[in-house]
Amino acid sequence: MCYPKFPEECTSLLSKYLTPEVFDVLKDKRTSTGFTLNQAIRSGVEHPDSGIGVYAGDADSYPTFAPLMDPIIEEYHGFKPHSCHKINLKSNHFIPKILDPEGKYILSTRIRVGRNLKGYPLGPGISREQRLEVAQKVRQVLTVLPDDLSGMFYPLSEMEASIKRSLIKDHFLFKEGDRFLEAAGVNRHWPEGRGIFHNKDKNFLVWVNEEDQLRIISMEKGGDISSVYARLLKALRHLETTLEFEFDERLGYITSCPTNLGTAMRASVHIALPKLGERKKQFHRITKKHHLQIRGIHGEHSTSKEGIYDISNKRRLGVTEPQILHDLTEGVYALIHAEKQI
């Protein structure tokens, strides 16, 4: 294996931190499940326009490839190598602020967390049999959820194309064929073992075997972050009684992309900011101050439509869940204020 060539215009964190020296130290290492450096960096090498460029094939990828992973994690989350992540999922400590009393700006709110089952490789390293086993275990637990959480699991392989299209359009289902995941080996044997669970109201959903084995999602129309979070906590309490998730003392919940480590939580609003959206500098100044990220209307790598943006927390590691909600709330409050002023 030779040192990869990155084009001059490449700005990925992989190209920044995979120096020839780091490469030499790591090139022959294998994790406990046999995952290699070549596999970990393939996505960023094939796609020089990656922001990050690496994926973990198992929990052991983080310590094994630490000379590459640690600086990437530090730059993305602002999390120092000697820090320790703390979770706070015990209760709803979050004190909501009324953000949009007339319902003029916030269209919908969504909070998701990523989880992977303890003892299995992650998406880039999992075998076909292991993936099917994970799907089976998760499905069994999902189909006995109580009350408002109860619903049905829909295997992707049995879903009609028109239903799939409409679920994607309405922001409930993952898109297919992500080129970054494809290169990382996450999409092998697609659509086998993949699926979506949702309750009757489609305000509680679980994606199975997409980028992570579980993406647990609570979402609804409007800006009631507190209600969305309460539903997510309730679901997590139920799922944790029967499923054990991959968790690390230092890095929190283990996920295949280093951007999702820690809380693995992304709390977002779809918000109409047509005027502020035209003032890029001011818009970015506010989001940066509150540690927020701007995405397009169909998620990452999509564009905004009609001045509607997806605003969410950037950091997931080294911050607690209530802190993330606090950052989002304060940031959205500031964004709405700025939009009103223009």
Min dist CB 304 to ligand ADP, Å, is: 11
Report 305-334 residues binding ligand ILO (CB under 6 A).
none
> What is the 3-state secondary structure of 269-283?
EEEECCCHHHCHHHH
Q: Which x/- pattern over 106-145 shows residues binding ligand ADP (rule: CB under 6 A)?
A: --xxx-x---------------------------------
Instruction: Choose, by CB under 6 A, the member of 46, 148, 300, 330 that binds ligand ILO.
Output: 300
| Measured distance CA(342)–CA(338) in Å, rounded | 7
Max Cα separation, the chain? Answer: 59
Contact 33, 58 (CB under 8 A): yes
Structural tokens at position 139: 């499905």
Contacts of 119 (CB under 8 A, 6+ apart): 244, 246
Catalytic (active-site) positions: 112, 211, 215, 257, 259, 266, 295, 300
When CB distances are held under 5 to 8 angstroms depending on the partner's kind, the choice from ligand ILO, ligand ADP, none that residue 257 binds is: ligand ILO
Amino acid at 124: P
- 3-state secondary structure at position 30: strand
DSSP E strands in the chain: the ranges are 106-115, 151-155, 195-199, 204-208, 214-221, 247-248, 252-253, 265-272, 292-295, 308-313
Report 255-284 residues binding ligand ILO (CB under 6 A).
257, 259-260
Instruction: Choose, by CB under 6 A, the member of 51, 78, 191, 299 that binds ligand ADP.
Output: 299
When CB distances are held under 5 to 8 angstroms depending on the partner's kind, the choice from ligand ADP, ligand ILO, none that residue 269 binds is: ligand ADP
Cβ neighbours of 319 (radius 10 Å): 24
When CB distances are held under 5 to 8 angstroms depending on the partner's kind, the choice from ligand ILO, ligand ADP, none that residue 52 binds is: ligand ILO
Min dist CB 332 to ligand ADP, Å, is: 11
Nearer to ligand ILO, 75 or 148 (CB): 75
Min dist CB 326 to ligand ILO, Å, is: 23
287 near ligand ILO (CB under 6 A): no
Instruction: Choose, by CB under 6 A, the member of 15, 39, 50, 218 that binds ligand ILO.
Output: 50
When CB distances are held under 5 to 8 angstroms depending on the partner's kind, the choice from ligand ILO, ligand ADP, none that residue 108 binds is: ligand ADP
Based on the number of CB atoms within 10 Å of its own CB, is 270 exposed (0-12), middle (13-18) or buried (19 or more)?
Answer: buried
Contacts of 67 (CB under 8 A, 6+ apart): 22, 25, 26
Binding residues for ligand ILO (CB under 6 A) = 43, 50-53, 180, 211, 257, 259-260, 300
Binding residues for ligand ADP (CB under 6 A) = 108-110, 112, 171, 215, 219, 266, 268-270, 295, 297-300, 310
